[in-house]
Amino acid sequence: YHGFTNNYGRNNDKFINGLLPPGFDQKSCLSRYQLNLIRKPSPHKPSFPLLSKLRRYEALHRRCGPNSPSFRQAIVRLTSPTNSTAPSDDCKYIVILTRDGLGNRILSILSAFFYALISNRVILINRGNTLEDLFCEPFLESSWLLPSDFPLRDKFGSFRQSFPESFGNILRNGMRKETIEDSPPPYLYLHLSHDAGDYDKLFYCDRQQNLLKKVPWLIMETNNYLVPAIFLVSSFRQELNELFPAKDTVFHHLGRYLFHPKNDVWGLILRSYKPYVARANEMVGIQIRIFGSESGSIQDQMKQILACTQKKKLLPETELSSAEKADSSTSQKVKVVLVTSLNSQYSETLKEMYWEHPTVDGEMVAVYQPSHEGVQSSDSRIHNRKALAEMYLLSLSDVLVTSDWSTFGYVAQGLAGVKPWMLYKAEDKVFWALQHWLKYKTSKEGGDDWPCRQAVSMEPCLQVPPVCDCDEMKRMDGGKVLPYVIHCEDASWGLKLG
């Protein structure tokens, strides 16, 4: 192979269809303008309104971001709102507090950015869990990191649902809407993590969004992908339709726009890509998440992976004998299987299988697993770098097999622009069997979506959707409001764009 050339051919569009602006220093963040060399060009084009919105956002971030005079003014208004003589300008902020694994944190940052775009706020990320070590700055001549001397930072640890400045708590306690309207507080906390309650989720309502417009600083905590529920806010809908005529491309475009692995991570990506992936005719990524006992035994998971990849014809079957057939040496096709998992056993079994036996179609299969970290250790730098590198390597796949419920897999599929084949979690087997029993009995095809099925879109799932309507707080099904906001394959009550 020669440098970056691969079987996809070179892709010279380093600005990825106009998503990325020119002008960044290339050396300090090589991946930004080089990922296109190893990734297939995306078949999904960002809309013109989205491109112009991003350019306007970048200008807003420059004007209001850290170190700008407007930012200093906004800090003064935050710390002494009553006696501040500083004239108010139109800079408003959304500070995102991330939590849990890297996949969760990427989803939450992207959600906050999506909200920043639609509500004309500036996104700032709270440092921590080595985030600042992983990603380059996405906005030219500014920073998206919350300055470490931000006045509320010491309080973040006490921000929770019951916190007095929590928006959901204020609504639950029946604070009159006029109170926020007449004297908006300098900041509010939005609790939108997995344990968010019905009042917290009033965030996804028009009336409450109207109130929030007046609050200059919003501090949001989430570990989820909020985008599908933000689509339910009717006052945002028209603009969102213009920005995203293809609804299932939100993560794909914004993920490729925002996240650029730093040079250390880029090194990990290249040192896997060049020797192990570059020569592949086709690459199949398999992401196996182990959620303790919920995932079942390794042997059962292995059976499930083999059943899925062979039934859906994602990987070739092997001959029973180990003897090479006379004509197979003429086959040039190499399929690379990139396995990511905390455990190395899955890839070892696959590797052995394809070494011990030829494939029935003569195709050569190379199996590669970059790391097997054993356990999640989300505050370790090198651990997180490896996790990010592996998400990016998976995102180069032509075909993806992922584990249900895993945000790690969601990120890979969204960046790749691929609808993954999703493996059921073992604990869902009983549920699945019950649900499908009738279908199975009455239709020959009934069993076809076991042990994996293809996702309807490449979008991540919001696993904790709003379940109450905005006016009377009665139960409602968010999956029945808009044709393109549907239920997820894995979290059946969750919502995704599709």
In the complex, the smallest distance separating the C-beta of residue 22 from ligand GDP, rounded to whole angstroms, is 32
Question: If residue 431 lies in a helix (H) or strand (E), which one and from where to where?
Answer: helix 428-442
Residue from 386, 453, 487, 496 in contact with ligand GDP (CB under 6 A): 386
* Closer CB to ligand GDP, 174 or 292, in the complex: 292
Closest CB to ligand GDP among residues 99, 333: 99
Instruction: Figure out which of the listed residues 378, 382, 429, 440 binds ligand GDP, where binding follows CB under 6 A.
Output: 378
**Should residue 136 be labelled a site residue for ligand GDP when binding is judged by CB under 6 A?**
no
Contact positions with ligand GDP (CB under 6 A) in 390-449: 390, 406-408
Q: Does 359 bind ligand GDP (CB under 6 A)?
A: no
The residue among 138 and 285 lying less far from ligand GDP, judged by its C-beta, is 285
User: Does residue number 295 form part of the binding site for ligand GDP (CB under 6 A)?
Assistant: no
DSSP assignment string, 309-333: HHHTTSS--B-SS-PPPTTGGG---
Least separation in angstroms between CB 83 and ligand GDP: 43
Q: Which residue lies nearer to ligand GDP by CB, 304 or 341?
A: 341
Residues with Cβ within 8 Å of residue 434, at least 6 apart in sequence:
none
Work out whether 371 is an interface residue with ligand GDP (CB under 6 A). Answer: yes
Token pair belonging to 106: 């990427």
CA distance 495 to 498: 9
Give the nearer residue to ligand GDP in terms of CB position, either 67 or 377. Answer: 377
Asked if 224 interacts with ligand GDP (CB under 6 A), we say no
Q: Which stretch binds ligand GDP (CB under 6 A): 35-43, 157-165, 313-321, 336-344?
A: 336-344
Cβ atoms within 10 Å, residue 94: 21
Contact of 407 with 103, CB cutoff 8 Å: yes
Least separation in angstroms between residue 105's CB and ligand GDP is 7
Query: How far, in Å, CA of 425 to CA of 422, rounded?
Result: 9
Q: Which of 46, 65, 103, 465 binds ligand GDP (CB under 6 A)?
A: 103
126 binds ligand GDP (CB under 6 A): no
Got the DSSP string for 99-153? -SSHHHHHHHHHHHHHHHHHHT-EEEEPP-TTHHHHB---STTS--BPPTT-TTG
Rounded to a whole number of angstroms, the minimum distance from the CB of residue 478 to ligand GDP is: 21
Does the protein bind ligand GDP through residue 298 (CB under 6 A)?
Answer: no
Whole-Å CA distances, 496 to 400, 417, 432: 18, 15, 20
Among 363, 373, 404, 490, binds ligand GDP (CB under 6 A): 373
Instruction: Tell how far CA 414 is from the center of its chain.
Output: 6
Q: What are phi and psi of 145, to 5 degrees?
A: -85, 135
The SS3 of residue 391 is helix
Residues 6+ apart with CB under 8 A from 355: none
- CB of 99 or CB of 311, closer to ligand GDP: 99
**Calpha distance 215→217 (Å, rounded):** 6
Question: Contact positions toward ligand GDP, by CB under 6 A?
Answer: 100-104, 289, 340-342, 371, 373, 376, 378, 383, 386-387, 390, 406-408
